[in-house]
A = this chain, B = another copy of it.
């Protein structure tokens, strides 16, 4: 649905921002620069690879080694500038949110293009958006940010992915509507961070007499 070049450019930008979060975690945990690049790669490429394995297509990152460029760039940037990064924490959360916005839309679109039912395509879009971060947190032994009760992470991605699937069903998915869905996802995530939004817990707290 998107032109191939547009798709590739969006992908590489998304991979870069997620890869930065992996390299930053590696730096915080005292890993070496090789582990930093490996963790950056798992974070930036993991979500898309899991999606492609489930769909049953060969991962784009495998066919096009250019996908490794943003990973290496991310590890390099963190290597050179890590001590300055904490000042930019807000900027980074925004970049992560931009990655989330991009991947939930492009991931859903790729699944739809592979002939997956719309509901499953939306879930694969969410998988693309949150899978790399989950892999990063699990292999680095962190509490997955996906599961933190004090933050809303998956819901904006679900919203963007569902919107993409609905647009497609209405035959209204284009670069412009897709970008709009990305921006809305980005904005929801940014607002959730800014205002500390939370979702209800996994169980209903009941009154003593309840």
Contact = CB atoms under 8 A, between A and B. Distances in A.
Given A83-B206, A202-B33, A55 B58 contact: yes
A75 interface: yes
A149 interface: yes
Interface in A71-129: 75, 78-80, 82-83, 116-117, 119-120, 123-124
Interface in A1-54: 23, 26-27, 29-36, 38-39, 49, 53-54
The prevalent SS among residues of A at the interface is helix
- Which one of A63, A152, A202 has the highest number of Cβ atoms from chain B below 10 Å of its Cβ? A202
A33 B152 CA distance: 11
Nearest to A80: B204
Given A23-B202, A83-B206, 7 more contacts: A32-B201, A33-B199, A35-B202, A53-B53, A54-B58, A63-B120, A134-B139
